[in-house]
Amino acid sequence: AFVTQGCVIDGEVKNSVLFTGAKVAAGAKVIDSVLMPGSEVEEGAVVQRALVADDIKIGKNAVVGSADSEHIELVSKNVKGAE
């Protein structure tokens, strides 16, 4: 795990900003996004062009946002992952 400024990064992060306590699990991707404090992206999830609010959990293998969207998606509630 790559740990910096209280963030734990096991997945892939590109062109993104992570605040203190954000977590990106193994196999997860965060691209062109912002993870607010305490937010968590679980294994295999993909977050693109999204702002994930404080303490929000993106579940396993969930997909949030879209690479070709003109807008940044605001994620303000937990996203359930695939079982």
pLDDT band at 1 (very low <50, low <70, confident <90, very high): low
What is the tens place of the pLDDT at every residue in 24-77?
Answer: 999 999 999 999 999 999 999 999 999 999 999 999 999 999 999 889 999 999
| Single-letter residue type at 47 | V
Q: What is the pLDDT of residue 83?
A: 67
What is the tens place of the pLDDT at every residue in 6-39?
Answer: 888 999 999 999 999 999 999 999 999 999 999 9
Task: Assess contact for 17 and 10: CB atoms under 8 A.
Answer: no
Can you tell me the distance from the alpha carbon of 33 to that of 72, in angstroms, rounded to the nearest whole number? 8
The reported pTM is 0.91
